[in-house]
C-alpha cells in the first residue's frame, strides 16, 4: 500500500486512527497496540502477501535471539547469540537482495552460465533488517530494556517507517508505545501530522513524479539528448530523488505524529550542505547513524591515526553504496562519495582551524557549496543509471558542449512532460508558452532549486505550525491539489533499496 494512494488516504489511515484511539479510550492498551500491529502488517502485506511470511519469521527469530541474549547476559553464550543474530539478518538480506548480483558477477568473470534465480526483493527488507541488527547488538551491550513481543513487533513493523525508514532504534519508539499519556487523541498532533503529511504528499505527487517522467525518458535512450536536455535530465533526477525521499520522510513523520509518536528526522535540507561530510549529516541521517555506530566506530573510527581513519571512512561508504543496491553503479557511487569525503577530510586536516577574514570565509563557503552540489549532481548519474556505460553516455552528452542551435534546444518531449493538466490549462489561457518558450521547464527547475537551497524544510515548518485559518486554507488547497493529481501507481524511489 502506498502513502500516495486512494485506498491508503480514504480507507486505511482513517480506519487505523479510529480503531487505535477508540480501543485506547476504553483503556484497552494492549488490544489497541495489537490492532496497530495488525494494521501495519496489512499495510505491508498489501504489496504482496508473500512478504508477510518473511517479516513475521524475521520478527519471531530476532525476538527469540533477544530473549536468549538477555538470558545469558555477560556470558560467551550471549556473544554467540549476538553473532548468530547479525549473521542471520545479513544472510536474509544477502539472499533476497544480492544472490542474483553475485551469480551474474560470477557468470561474467568465469564465463559461466549459472541461471539467475530472479528473487523478488521484499519491500523494506534493507530497513527492517538493519533496525533489528541494531536491536540485537544493543541487547548484547546491555542497552535494551525488557520488552514484550507486541511492543517489539510494533517497533519493527510500525507502518510509517516500515518501508523506507527512518531506521529507528528501540529507545526511540518502544518507550512511546508504552507511554499511556500518548494513548489519547491529541488534536494538536493530529493537525500537525496532517499538515506534514500534506507537505510530503505534494512533494511526491506535484514535483517528484513530474521530474520522474523526464528522468525515465532521458536514461532509457540518452542518445536522443541534446547538451541542454542532458543537463535537464541530470538535474531532474537530483530534484526527483530529493523531493521523493524528503516527501516520504515528511509523510512518515506526519503519520507517526497523528498517533502521538515522534520518529527521528531523516532528511534535513541536504542540498544546503557546504561540504560532502555535511551532506551525509543531512541525507538519510539514520542510515549514516547506523553505519557510524555499528561499522565505523567498531572499526576504530578516528582513534587509530589518520590513515586508518581514511580506510574506515572508505569502507563505510563502500558498504553504503552496496546497501543501496545490488549493482556496480551503486558500488561506484559509494566509492565516489567515500573518496570525496576522504579528500575533504584531508584538506581540512591540512588547513586546520585557521582564523580567516569574514569575506574569505563567505567566498570559501560559497565555492565549497558549488563544488559539493556539482559533485552530488554528477554522482547521482551513476546512482540512477542502469549500468556504468549508460551513466557515462549521459555524462558524455552533457559534456559534449554542443552550443549550436540544436544543442541548446530543449527536447519537446521533456518540455511536454512538465505540462501537467493544470499547467497546460493555465498556459492555454495565458498563452505564456508562446511568449516565453519552455517557461515550464525552466520554471520547474528554478522553483525546485529555490526550495531546496533557500526555503526552510518541512520539519521547521511543522515546528512553527499554528492551526489558524491561513494554515487551514493552505493545507486544504495543497491536499486537494495533490489528491486530485494522484495518477496510477508511483512508488517511492527508496522502496527499491
Place of cell 499495510: 43
C-alpha cell at 296: 565505523
Q: Output the CA–CA distances (angstroms, integers) from residue 61 to 132, 436, 453, in the order listed.
A: 10, 61, 44
Let me know: does 330 contact 324? Beta carbons within 8 Å.
yes
> What secondary structure does DSSP assign to 239-267, as a single string?
HHHHHHHHHHHHHHHHHHHHTT------B
* Whole-angstrom distance, CA of residue 41 vs CA of residue 46: 8
Which residue among 151, 324, 337, 415 is the active-site one?
Answer: 324
Encode 124-155: b = buried (16+ Cβ within 10 Å), e = exposed: bbbbbbbbbbbbbbbbbeeebeebeeebbbbb
Let me know: does 157 contact 40? Beta carbons within 8 Å.
yes
Question: For 138, how many CA atoms within 13 A lie in the half-sphere containing its CB?
Answer: 18
Which residues have CB under 8 Å from 369's CB, separation 6+? 272, 273, 274
* Whole-angstrom distance, CA of residue 201 vs CA of residue 9: 11
> What secondary structure does DSSP assign to 276-295, as a single string?
HHHHHHHBSHHHHHHHIIII
Helix (H, G, I), strand (E, B) or coil at 118: coil
* Whole-angstrom distance, CA of residue 316 vs CA of residue 310: 10
* Whole-angstrom distance, CA of residue 35 vs CA of residue 223: 53
Question: For 405, how many CA atoms within 13 A lie in the half-sphere containing its CB?
Answer: 0
* Whole-angstrom distance, CA of residue 431 vs CA of residue 13: 41
Return the C-alpha torsion angle 213, 216, 221, 225, nearest 10.
50
Our answer to whether residue 415 is catalytic in this structure is no
C-alpha cell at 80: 554467540
> What secondary structure does DSSP assign to 457-485, as a single string?
PHHHHHHT---SHHHHHHHHHHHHHHHHH
> What secondary structure does DSSP assign to 354-367, as a single string?
----HHHHHHHHHH
* Whole-angstrom distance, CA of residue 280 vs CA of residue 45: 32
Q: Output the CA–CA distances (angstroms, integers) from residue 489 to 122, 236, 277, 420, 485, in the order listed.
A: 18, 20, 35, 17, 12
Beta bridge partners of 283: 267
Let me know: does 203 contact 197? Beta carbons within 8 Å.
no
Catalytically active residues, by annotation: 324
Amino acid at each position: 500500500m502506498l502513502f500516495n494512494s486512494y485506498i491508503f488516504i480514504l480507507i486505511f489511515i482513517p480506519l487505523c486512527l479510529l480503531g487505535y484511539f477508540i480501543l485506547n479510550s476504553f483503556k484497552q492498551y494492549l488490544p489497541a497496540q495489537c490492532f496497530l500491529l495488525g494494521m501495519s502488517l496489512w499495510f505491508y502485506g498489501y504489496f504482496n502477501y508473500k512478504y508477510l511470511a518473511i517479516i513475521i519469521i524475521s520478527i519471531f527469530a530476532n525476538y527469540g535471539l533477544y530473549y536468549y541474549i538477555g538470558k545469558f547476559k555477560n556470558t560467551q553464550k550471549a556473544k554467540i547469540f549476538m553473532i548468530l543474530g547479525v549473521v542471520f539478518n545479513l544472510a536474509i538480506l544477502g539472499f533476497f537482495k544480492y544472490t542474483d548480483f553475485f551469480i551474474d558477477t560470477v557468470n561474467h568473470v568465469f564465463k559461466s552460465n549459472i541461471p539467475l534465480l530472479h528473487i523478488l526483493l521484499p519491500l523494506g527488507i534493507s530497513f527492517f533488517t538493519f533496525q533489528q541488527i541494531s536491536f540485537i547488538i544493543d541487547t548484547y551491550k546491555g542497552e535494551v530494556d525488557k520488552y514484550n513481543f507486541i511492543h517489539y513487533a510494533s517497533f519493527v513493523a510500525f507502518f510509517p517507517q516500515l518501508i523506507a525508514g527512518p531506521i529507528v532504534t528501540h529507545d526511540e519508539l518502544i518507550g512511546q508505545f508504552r507511554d499511556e499519556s500518548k494513548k489519547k487523541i491529541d488534536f494538536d498532533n493530529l493537525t500537525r501530522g496532517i499538515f506534514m503529511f500534506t507537505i510530503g504528499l505534494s512533494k511526491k505527487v506535484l514535483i517528484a513524479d513530474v521530474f520522474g517522467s523526464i528522468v525515465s525518458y532521458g536514461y532509457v535512450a540518452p542518445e536522443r539528448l541534446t547538451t541542454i536536455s542532458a543537463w535537464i535530465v541530470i538535474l531532474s533526477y537530483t530534484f526527483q530523488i530529493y523531493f521523493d525521499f524528503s516527501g516520504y520522510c515528511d509523510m512518515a513523520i506526519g503519520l507517526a505524529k497523528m498517533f502521538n509518536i515522534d520518529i527521528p528526522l531523516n532528511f534535513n535540507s541536504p542540498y544546503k550542505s557546504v561540504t560532502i561530510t555535511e551532506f551525509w549529516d543531512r541525507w538519510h541521517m539514520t542510515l549514516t547513524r547506523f553505519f557510524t555506530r555499528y561499522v565505523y566506530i567498531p572499526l576504530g573510527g578516528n582513534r587509530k591515526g589518520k590513515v586508518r581513519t581514511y580506510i574506515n571512512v572508505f569502507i563505510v561508504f563502500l558498504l553504503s553504496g552496496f546497501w543501496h543496491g545490488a549493482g556496480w553503479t551503486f558500488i561506484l557511487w559509494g566509492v565516489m562519495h567515500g573518496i570525496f569525503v576522504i579528500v575533504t577530510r584531508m584538506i581540512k586536516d591540512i588547513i586546520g582551524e585557521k582564523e580567516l577574514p569574514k569575506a574569505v570565509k563567505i567566498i570559501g563557503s560559497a565555492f565549497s557549496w558549488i563544488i559539493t552540489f556539482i559533485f552530488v549532481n554528477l554522482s547521482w548519474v551513476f546512482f540512477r543509471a542502469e549500468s556504468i556505460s549508460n551513466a557515462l553516455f549521459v555524462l558524455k552528452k552533457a559534456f559534449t558542449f554542443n552550443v549550436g542551435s540544436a544543442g541548446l534546444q530543449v527536447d519537446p518531449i521533456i518540455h511536454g512532460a512538465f505540462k501537467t493538466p493544470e499547467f497546460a490549462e493555465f498556459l492555454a489561457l495565458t498563452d505564456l508558452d508562446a511568449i516565453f518558450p519552455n517557461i515550464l521547464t525552466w520554471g520547474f527547475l528554478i522553483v525546485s532549486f529555490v526550495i531546496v537551497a533557500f526555503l526552510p524544510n518541512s520539519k521547521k515548518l511543522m515546528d512553527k505550525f499554528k492551526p489558524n485559518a491561513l494554515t487551514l486554507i493552505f493545507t486544504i488547497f495543497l491536499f486537494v491539489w495533490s489528491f486530485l493529481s494522484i495518477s496510477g501507481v508511483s512508488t517511492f524511489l527508496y522502496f527499491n533499496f
